[in-house]
């Protein structure tokens, strides 16, 4: 076992009231890949700042190896002193660090280095901060929510880069798939204390449940022991006074432990408030387009969204996900094409930029829209403090300004407000940012069980797999050109279908090249003066229109079956199979039409 290069032992910190950290430990050895998990407000970011030397504990021991280099990625980086992203990233280098590493990271993170830090988007700011902390290849990398605002290609690149990194890692993230791929150990921060599991995040939830069950059983046993001792105290035969005083002291100690036990923080309790049922057809978009200057954001795109559908939009930052979402929901007009919204729609939106938050508002004022002390949830009047408890806010926080909440608490507050509103069309733009794992679980259940329609934009692969019934993604994710395709199922289903389509296309292209060569060879052998096609060419020219018509009919039949809004819910395997068959038929149609056109041009040429 290697000696630790960072060790935090028995860390204590309180801001008054219940301690935030009460005996927390963290030990980092060379090569460790630790994920730090816990509820929002459990002290994860505070413990990481103490590890980075940016915050002080009130007691406890801290050891950092004198020669170890540490870099910390904050949730909100400070760019104030820098004119360019390049200057900001290079400021993180040490005297012996390689400056070319900055250029490498900026390139792979999609930045030139010439950007003005004051004008960066959330995703660009996160990439610049990652370049700064990763460039020195420090002994310890402390990363607080590194995937926030990153698109899927960048998240997957970051996974590979961190897996290959020589740095020891401590990670805080809400992205389950990211943690499963990167971590090899888990530290759980719960009720101020820490527990360590020397296995990755994939094993955490089962282990956590075992720990909580054992704790509950221990408390039950302690309660029974207290009952026995109290019975002895009341009815037992008097023994020696010294022995009685000892047992009485033990009983008082047991009572104290039982009363002082603080159970795990409760889980969020919520469901979406249902409005009246919308019409069966919620959205119908017909050949909609959008372009800004010469850049096409949406090429002709058509879709029908039926009541109960759950659509996910994915793609790299800048591909146009939010633009497409706003077009589908009638917030912006398409350049061409039409969007028709269904009847009886009650829409509620969670915006990724959290622009709906006035930081000077109190929690109670924000939840009630300033209309007193109560709000209507699912047709029932609820006092605001009672509703706040459902989302793990304490009654005394009712008058707290929103600016004092953490990022995760702000996300939970916005979720509380949107779920209180009567809605049958739920629009969620990056809803998972800053949410802890338990609140994410709740949101997944809300989306999956929502009686209305859901359209969401997310980079969280696990969340998409657990919630959506179909996924809309760019046809060309490496270089988005405005073409979008709808796939059945979640992110993993989309990737499988995309892989199958690529393989089918390669086979079709290979077969097409062989057929073109077969067509061209006889044409070259046949003198132009003869003015004839070969028998094989004539046969193909005569029969290809029939084959094309047959393939078109087959494609139309599958499109009609897939238009059934209940098919995916009842039989997702059949839906996926139909989608793959339709993709293949479209490829075959393109190949046959190309072949027929070449033969027709050859016939005209030979006939003069």
Distance CA 41, CA 21 (A): 11
Give the model confidence (pLDDT) of 288-308 as tens digits: 999 998 899 999 999 999 999
Percent of the chain with pLDDT over 70: 85
- What contacts 79, CB < 8 A, 6 or more positions away? 88, 117, 118, 120, 125, 128
CATH 3.40.50.300 assigned to domain 6-204? The reply is yes
User: Which has the closest alpha carbon to 417: 343, 361, 360?
Assistant: 361
Span of 126-135, 260-269, 459-468 with lowest mean pLDDT:
260-269
- Provide the strand spans (E) within 279-434: 281-292, 295-306, 310-313, 336-341, 347-350, 374-377, 380-383, 425-429
pLDDT band at 209 (very low <50, low <70, confident <90, very high): confident
Span of 216-220, 243-247, 311-315, 370-374 with lowest mean pLDDT:
243-247
Distance CA 158, CA 148 (A): 12
Give the model confidence (pLDDT) of 168-190 as tens digits: 999 999 899 999 999 999 999 99
> Angle at CA 48, nearest 5°, toward 47 and 51?
90
**Residue 502: per-residue pLDDT:** 65
Which H helix or E strand runs over 387?
helix 384-390
Token pair 């039982």 in the structure block, residue:
258
Token pair 């009983």 in the structure block, residue:
251
Structure tokens given for 201: 């995040």
pTM for the structure as a whole: 0.69
320-354 burial string, b = 16+ CB within 10 Å, else e?
A: bbbbbbbbbbeeeebeebebebbeebbbbbbbbeb
Structure tokens given for 469: 């019934």
Q: What dihedral do alpha carbons 553, 558, 564, 566 form, nearest 10°?
A: 160
Span of 38-47, 197-206, 439-448, 450-459 with lowest mean pLDDT:
439-448
User: Which has the closest alpha carbon to 311: 574, 449, 563, 487?
Assistant: 487
> Is it the case that residue 425 has pLDDT exceeding 50?
yes
Handedness of CA 80, 82, 83, 89 (dihedral sign): negative
User: Which has the closest alpha carbon to 142: 6, 1, 14, 2?
Assistant: 6
**Residue 241: per-residue pLDDT:** 46
Q: Write the DSSP symbol of residue 494.
A: H
**Residue 219: per-residue pLDDT:** 77
- Provide the strand spans (E) within 249-366: 281-292, 295-306, 310-313, 336-341, 347-350
CATH 3.40.190.10 assigned to domain 281-488? The reply is no
Sheet with 295-306, side-by-side order of all strands: 295-306, 281-292, 336-341
Give the model confidence (pLDDT) of 26-65 as tens digits: 999 999 999 999 987 788 999 999 999 999 999 999 999 9
């Amino acid at each position: 076992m290697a000696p630790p290069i960072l060790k935090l032992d028995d860390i204590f910190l309180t801001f008054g009231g219940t301690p935030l950290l009460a005996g927390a430990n963290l030990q980092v050895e060379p090569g460790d890949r630790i994920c730090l998990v816990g509820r929002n407000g459990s002290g994860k970011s505070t413990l990481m700042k103490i590890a980075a030397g940016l915050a002080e504990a009130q007691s406890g021991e801290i050891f950092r190896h004198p020669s170890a280099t540490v870099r910390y990625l904050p949730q909100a980086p400070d760019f104030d002193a820098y004119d360019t992203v390049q200057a900001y990233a290079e400021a993180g280098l040490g005297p012996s660090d390689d400056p070319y590493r900055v250029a490498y990271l900026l390139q792979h993170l999609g930045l030139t280095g010439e950007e003005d830090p004051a004008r960066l988007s959330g995703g660009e700011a996160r990439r610049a901060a990652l370049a700064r902390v990763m460039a020195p290849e420090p002994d310890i990398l402390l990363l607080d929510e590194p995937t926030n605002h990153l698109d899927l290609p960048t998240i997957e690149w970051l996974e590979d880069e961190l897996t290959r990194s020589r740095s020891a890692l401590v990670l805080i993230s809400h992205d389950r798939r990211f943690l499963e791929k990167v971590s090899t150990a888990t530290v759980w921060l719960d009720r101020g204390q820490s527990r360590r599991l020397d296995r990755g995040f994939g094993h955490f939830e089962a282990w956590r449940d075992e720990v909580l069950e054992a704790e509950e059983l221990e408390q039950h046993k302690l309660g029974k022991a207290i009952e026995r001792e109290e019975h002895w105290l009341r009815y037992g035969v008097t023994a020696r006074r010294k022995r009685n005083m000892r047992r009485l002291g033990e009983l008082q100690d047991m009572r104290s432990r039982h009363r002082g036990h603080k159970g795990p923080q409760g889980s969020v309790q919520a469901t979406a408030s249902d409005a009246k049922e919308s019409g069966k057809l919620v959205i119908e978009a017909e050949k909609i387009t959008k372009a800004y200057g010469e850049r096409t954001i949406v090429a002709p795109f058509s879709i029908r969204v039926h009541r109960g559908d759950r659509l996910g939009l994915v793609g790299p930052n800048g591909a146009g996900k939010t633009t497409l979402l706003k077009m589908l929901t009638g917030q912006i007009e398409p350049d061409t094409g039409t969007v028709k919204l269904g009847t009886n729609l009650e829409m509620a939106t969670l915006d990724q930029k959290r622009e709906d938050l006035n930081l000077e508002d109190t929690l109670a004022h924000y939840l009630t829209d300033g209309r007193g002390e109560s709000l209507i949830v699912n047709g029932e009047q609820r006092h605001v403090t009672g509703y706040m408890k459902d989302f793990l806010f304490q009654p005394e926080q009712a008058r707290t300004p929103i600016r004092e909440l953490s990022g995760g608490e702000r996300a939970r507050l916005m979720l509380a407000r949107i779920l209180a509103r009567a809605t049958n069309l739920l629009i969620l733009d990056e809803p998972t940012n800053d949410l802890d794992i338990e609140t994410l679980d709740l949101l997944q259940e809300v989306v999956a069980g929502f009686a209305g329609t859901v359209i969401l934009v997310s980079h969280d692969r696990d969340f998409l797999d657990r919630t959506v019934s179909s996924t809309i993604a760019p046809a060309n994710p490496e270089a988005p050109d405005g073409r979008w395709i709808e796939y059945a199922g979640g992110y993993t289903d989309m990737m499988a279908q995309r892989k199958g389509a690529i393989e089918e296309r390669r086979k079709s292209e290979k077969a097409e090249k062989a057929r073109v060569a077969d067509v061209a060879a006889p044409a070259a052998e046949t003198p132009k003066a003869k003015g004839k096609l070969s028998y094989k060419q004539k046969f193909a020219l005569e029969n290809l229109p029939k084959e094309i018509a047959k393939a078109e009919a087959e494609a139309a039949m599958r499109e009609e079956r897939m238009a059934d809004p209940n098919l995916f819910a009842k039989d997702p395997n059949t839906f996926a199979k139909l989608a793959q068959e339709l993709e293949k038929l479209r490829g075959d149609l393109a190949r046959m039409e190309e072949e027929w056109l070449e033969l027709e041009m050859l016939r005209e040429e030979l006939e003069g």
